[in-house]
Structure 1
Amino acid sequence: MLTRDEGWQLLCEWTPSAKLRIHARAVELVMRDLAGRLGENVERFGLAGLLHDADYDTWPEEHPTRIVAWLRERGETDLAHAVSAHYTRWGVPYDHLLDKALLASDEITGFVMACALVRPTRTEGLEPKSVKKKLKDKAFAAGVDRFEVAEGLRMLIEARGGTEEEHLARIIAVLHEHREELGLS
């Protein structure tokens, strides 16, 4: 079984961009937190978050086929499937909670970080309603696909309940807890 250390080593090898490594770490933290709250495997969820974009910097035109193949070669089929499904337009089915959780955590985690970075207090005092308001502003963090955010939240809520506000509050709390490491202080 793949370890977190092996995953981090691969991420650093394939991902020269510190910004993308920070994104991967943030999604890992959000996924680990979600798994813990849902009684799921924290390590597996964390690895999916950590590695979902591992091949993007070096092979953007092949993303995510390189990391998916690498995971499959090691028998990590659940991780490979989740990574291959972290964008709905790729047409991969969402068979497991891990798949839905990654979709529900990837884009929105990056978006919440963008929201925090434009505030003088960063994550301190950031509220879900502010994030939802920024989501309506198509010019803000324009690279974040709002459809992917909405679909991910819908799938996660359908699978495990809760509300968008609760999911956003949890993401904000995780990012705030790790603000130093993530450059959000």
Structure 2
Amino acid sequence: MTTLTRDEAYELLRSWTDSEALMTHARSVEVVMRAAAHRYGSGEGDVEAYGLAGLLHDADYDRWPEEHPARIVAWLNERGETTIAHAISAHYTKWGVSYDTQIDRALLACDELTGFVGACCFVRPEGISTLEPKSVKKKLKQKSFAAGVDRDEVAAGVEMLGVELGEHIQFIIDALKPHAEELGLSGT
């Protein structure tokens, strides 16, 4: 149970983040994580924590990239939001943090792939409306496309969640579609 409100979280994110692209990424991962609470968590009772983990996972990256995610993790821990803090501290496997809960695994599985699905939408005239998992999987094989997306992290995330890649991609597409206009995923 989280006591942090979305408004408080958003206010912090906005004060620490100047990059509109990073703000959009944070909102995109929030949207997907709210849906993930129903699919991978225990449902409605997890929605706020999952959503806030998605919203805040990169909150300190814009201002303090060399310290990421230590600042946001410390901020959350100071407020007693240990579950969200731990999930954020674990959203990159190379940090060596344990994956103890479904929220930890879901954030790992949703972060990079949500950004990648967004990148796929940007190169399609019809955006997300006709995007299919097979197209995303094909782009994942092209190392030069969205080169900043760590394919190993994508693979580790779906493996830890115990889901098939195509199924998880479809889940992310379905979660993002209702928010396509807000997130700039509607195409040209």
Which of the five TM-score ranges fits, normalised by the shorter chain?
Answer: over 0.9
Unaligned runs of 5+ in 2: none
Q: TM-score by structure 2 length?
A: 0.94
Q: Is residue 2:110 matched to residue 1:105? A: yes
Amino acid at match of 2:150: D
Give the match's secondary structure for 2:147.
Answer: coil
How far residue 11 of structure 1 moved from its aligned partner, in angstroms, is 0.5
Unaligned runs of 5+ in 1: none
**CA distance in 1 between partners of 2:37 and 2:82 (Å):** 18
Deviation at 1:36, TM superposition (A): 1.9
Alignment of 1:35-184 (within 5 A): 35-38=37-40, 39-40=42-43, 41-157=46-162, 162-184=163-185
Measured against aligned partners, the alpha-carbon deviations of 1:43-64 in whole angstroms (never above 9, x if no partner) come to 1000000000000000111100
For 2:169, the aligned partner's letter is: L
AA of the residue aligned to 1:26: S
Structure 1 runs of 4+ with >4 Å offset = none
**Displacement, 1:37?**
2.7
Question: Which range is displaced more, 162-171 or 175-184?
Answer: 162-171
Size of the alignment, in residue pairs? Answer: 181
Distance in 2 between the 1:173 and 1:81 partners? 27
Distance of 1:99 and 1:37 partners within structure 2:
14
Match of residue 6 from structure 1:
8
RMSD, aligned CA: 0.9
TM-score (norm 1): 0.95
CA distance in 2, matches of 1:106, 1:118: 20
Displacement of 1:105: 0.3
